[in-house]
Amino acid sequence: MTVLPPSRAVAAAGVAVLALSLSACGSSSSGSGASGGGAGATPTKTVDPNAAEVSPAGDIPDDQAYVRYAMTSGGFSVKVPEGWARSSTKGGTRFTDKLNAIELQPSTGGALTAAAAKATEVPRLEAATPGFASAKVSTVRRTAGSAVRITYLATAPADPVTGKRGTDAVERYVFSKGTRRATLILSGPKGADNVDPWKIVTDAFRWTR
């Protein structure tokens, strides 16, 4: 075994002590950095899965109940949302609830085709409807048979509180039988998802005589 002189043994011991001190400082610094990074991290947002779902304005609830209403003067019936307010209009009946409306209009004139609707109904509606735009005409199939559907945008009735007017999306269905017509006018705020409710209403249309 090699024996170091006293001076060299003291120097070696000093180097060992210094190395251990530097190692300890490095570990402490590293640990502090990790701890500081954790404290400064952005907190994670939590989502409450039991929170009530908020529907856009004008959306008819999925659990809405419907009742059948007979339009005696027109010889037909439809299903309308239960609880909606009913009022009479010139030549028809109207059901309303907040921002949505359904109007039933019996008339005469014989079968209406999509071509005839483009040539006569669309110009008439454009002249009589504020904010009329984006008109489209098509033929759709429902349980009672085919119907001509005219969709368009229109200025909504004024808000009773603010007086402001929004934009309504309107769907107008015309069913024909012999010389009789039945027109269903369904309207609600532009952007509301009422595809299924409007399908329920129009699919429930029936001629009663």
Q: List CB contacts of 86: < 8 A, sequence separation 6 or more.
A: 93, 94, 95
By the 8 A CB rule, do 156 and 165 touch?
Answer: yes
pLDDT at 42: 52
CA distance 52 to 145: 39
pTM > 0.85: no
One-letter identity of residue 185: I
User: Which range has the worst mean pLDDT, 35-49, 57-71, 105-119?
Assistant: 35-49
Average pLDDT taken over every residue of the chain: 83
* Residue 181 DSSP SS3: strand
Q: Where are the domains of the chain?
A: 66-207
The class level of CATH for 66-207 reads: alpha beta
